[in-house]
Amino acid sequence: MKKLKILPLFLLICLLTSIFLPLGATALEPPEINSNVVMVINRDTGEVFYSKNDDWKIYPASITKIMTVLLAVEAVERGEISLYDMVTADSTMSYDLLEDGSSAGIIVGETMSLENLLYCAMVSSANEACNIIARHIGGSIDNFIEMMNARAAELGCADTNFTNTHGLPDENHYTTARDFAIISETAANSETFMQIANTSTITIPATNLSAPRVLNNSNALICSDSIYGSGYIYEHAIGIKTGFTSAAGYCLVSSAIQNDINLLALVFDGKSYTVDGRNVIDSFKDSITLFDWVFDNYSYQEILKPTDTITSIDVALGSNADSVSLRSTGSITALLPNDYNPADFTRTITIYSELDAEELRAPIAAGEVLGEMSISRDGVNYGTVSLVAASSVDLSYSLYMKQMVSATLRSPIVIAIIVIVLLLLLAYIFLVVRYRLQYTKHAKARKLKQAQETGVAEKSPVRRSIFEKFKKNKALPPLDDDFETEVYSSAPHTELEIEPEAESELEIAFEPEPFETTTPEPLDVAPDIFEEDEADETSFSPPLTNNASRHLEETLARAFGTSLPSNPSSPDAPTPSDSTDETLYRDYFEEFFRNK
């Protein structure tokens, strides 16, 4: 029963634990390190895998010799000096040295090559060799120390200051693990430097004052004959320098490579102690611990494959697709914890068309570079690859033409031209209408003026036919067009309609009376009754008789819808007679109809 009661409590604890524990892989357990200042970095990327008090100011001890030899190697690479230069030691080699400091036994007056002096400085950590090198390159030891500080500042080591060439204790001689990682990495990039620093044992030929010297490297990671014993040999180690003073403790800068993982470890202020009757030196032990910790827990992981589809973007004017997928052109591999979480990485995608604020348009060829992507984690950039189109997108010519027309019509210049054309067209229409109105008004005014001047208006086809009958039957003398028009315009109606009965009476009235067969007597008529027609012939119209003229008056009055005066023979009216002047009689009728 007690077990059954405990089971729910156990399940509850497991549930709460699953809720509050973070998802995914837990962080790596840090390595067990005894030294006060340590640091391990990736030489290829500069990524720091682990560090401890890397910004503390520390005494570098003989690690200083890395900078001394670096300046010499750089001078050789620049061609200023040669490794085969023969250098003679003088009394300045003992400048600021201690009697119990590390030495290669070089004496004043001894001559050896610069190359052998560099081996003495790096392999056996000889202090006097550093001063001899400094005087040869800098002209003086003090000048060379200035060169050391200038190079450190050039590399960006703001917390480093040198006061000697070898690293013996001085309160103004200091650095940090972070600064010396930069100096050490710079030196390790030199093939000549690493060839010297990775030498386990070397024999220096005899000189003018010395027999051959056998030098064993003080770095116990690479030399089993090191002064520190053979218990720290590390098969993956490559170089580079040890250091020790009472103030600085045990120091070591070393490198190692395994499975393409290239590491640089820095250990300062380590201790020496005995465990189970065996002497333990922290600088070597902690360096091995750092290397194994990285090699066991890190490996190269492919965080991006060339076949991965990254994203898709819209494509305008495409005939077979309206978007295109983007893939990377290569892979990105990074040195990561074995249980890394891919979600920890940030992908920064850049599309070139978006940078230019332009629309991506077809045609697009497969493999065309359209952007790039960077992958980073915790501020570290692991690589950048180009992004290319996974497939092609053809151009739709109909959409292209439509867009071009639309874009053209949206152009400010085209809009301005269209507005100007419309304004000109409206102005033209206005001018045409205005001209037509003025022309019509002018034409009417001109006709009115002409009518006022000549009494001319429209001609009536009916009345013209009457006068044509007059001419044809010679009932009246031929009338000119002005008279006919004036008579018509004097009538009270614009358009006159003649009733059939009146028209019949007119036809009877206009029937010519038969002439007597006898020869008429000569008449005293006015000369103007003779008119010349178009054929230049003279025609004659006899005068109207009283009855004929009266009948004509009545007929015309009915035709034009008016009435004759009550007294047609009023004083003002001429009495038609055989001898009445035709012109006078016609004028009377003209005035009569005008008044009506």
For β-strands 323-328 and 309-314, DSSP reports them as: antiparallel
**Region of 143 on the Ramachandran plot (φ > 0 left; ψ -120 to 50 alpha; else beta):** alpha
Polymer length of the chain: 596
Distance, CA of 125 to CA of 241 (rounded, Å): 8
* Helix residue ranges per DSSP H, 191-331: 191-197, 282-297
User: Other CB atoms closer than 10 Å to residue 123's CB: what's the count?
Assistant: 25
Which range is most confident: 247-256, 270-279, 324-333, 498-507? 247-256
Separate counts of helices (H) and strands (E) for the chain: 16, 20
What backbone torsions phi and psi does residue 502 show, to the nearest 5 degrees? Answer: -65, -40
| pLDDT tens column, 372-386 | 999 988 888 888 999
| pLDDT tens column, 297-316 | 999 999 998 888 999 999 98
**Would you call 218 exposed, middle or buried from its count of C-beta atoms within 10 A (0-12, 13-18, 19+)?**
buried
Distance, CA of 483 to CA of 470 (rounded, Å): 13
Mean model confidence pLDDT for the chain: 80
Question: Between 290 and 434, where is the model more confident?
Answer: 290
Question: Between 267 and 409, where is the model more confident?
Answer: 267
Looking up tokens 């391990």 gives 40
Mean pLDDT value across residues 581-592 = 54
- Angle of helix 65-77 relative to helix 141-154, nearest 10 degrees? 90
Residue 523 reports pLDDT greater than 70? no
β-partners of residue 388 are: 327, 369
| pLDDT tier, 468 (very low <50, low <70, confident <90, very high otherwise) | low
Percent of the chain that is helix, strand, coil (3-state, to 5): 40, 20, 40
* pLDDT (0 to 100) of residue 450: 76
β-partners of residue 175 are: 58
Task: Read off the pTM.
Answer: 0.62
For β-strands 323-328 and 531-532, DSSP reports them as: unpaired
| pLDDT tier, 490 (very low <50, low <70, confident <90, very high otherwise) | very low
* Token representation of residue 253: 């800068």
Q: Position 536: which residue type?
A: D
Is the distance from CB of 204 to CB of 129 less than 8 angstroms?
A: no
* Token representation of residue 265: 């470890």
Candidate from 54-58, 66-70, 305-309 with smallest mean pLDDT: 305-309
**What's 91-103 look like in SS3?**
HHHHCCCCCCCCC
Q: Position 2: which residue type?
A: K
CA distances from 140 to 69, 90, 93, 134, 145 (A): 16, 12, 10, 7, 9
* pLDDT (0 to 100) of residue 372: 95
* Helix residue ranges per DSSP H, 304-411: 352-355, 397-409
Residue 80 reports pLDDT greater than 70? yes
Distance, CA of 188 to CA of 64 (rounded, Å): 14
Distance, CA of 229 to CA of 216 (rounded, Å): 11
Distance, CA of 270 to CA of 33 (rounded, Å): 10
* pLDDT (0 to 100) of residue 481: 47
Mean pLDDT value across residues 347-364 = 90
Question: Which DSSP category does 58 fall into?
Answer: B
**Would you call 79 exposed, middle or buried from its count of C-beta atoms within 10 A (0-12, 13-18, 19+)?**
exposed
Cis geometry, peptide bond prior to residue 240 (ω within 30 degrees of 0):
yes
Closest CA to 326 of 355, 359, 351, 345: 351
**What's 270-282 look like in SS3?**
ECEEEECCEEEEH
Question: Between 141 and 579, where is the model more confident?
Answer: 141
| pLDDT tier, 356 (very low <50, low <70, confident <90, very high otherwise) | confident
* pLDDT (0 to 100) of residue 381: 86
3-state secondary structure (DSSP) of residue 585: helix
